[in-house]
Amino acid sequence: MSIHINRFIDSVKAHESRGQRDFMMPMKDAKDLHADITKMLLAVTELQNRLLTALQEQTITVELGGKDF
């Protein structure tokens, strides 16, 4: 995972452990987190597309024999 995502997770955990109800972050941190999430979503989409392409390119051969039928 990305450093900005890890920082966000750690910050949320820290606020939660202190019993804080609200969480604020500087705009720069929010933008960095947004950029990392966007990169991750693009990578996931690319992997999904590759998997779909690979599955569509597979050839399945089925042979039926009816010798004594």
Question: What mean pLDDT is reported for the chain?
Answer: 91
CA distances from 22 to 14, 29, 35, 44, 53 (A): 12, 16, 23, 31, 44
Q: What is the predicted pLDDT for the residue at 11?
A: 96
Measured between alpha carbons, how far is 69 from 62 in angstroms, rounded to an integer?
18
Measured between alpha carbons, how far is 6 from 3 in angstroms, rounded to an integer?
5
Residue range 14-43: average pLDDT? 96
Residue range 19-44: average pLDDT? 96
pLDDT tens for residues 43-65? 999 999 999 888 888 777 888 88
Residue range 5-18: average pLDDT? 96
Identify the weakest region by mean pLDDT among 4-13, 28-37, 52-61.
52-61
Sorted by where each begins, the domain ranges of the chain are 27-53
Amino acid symbol at 38: T
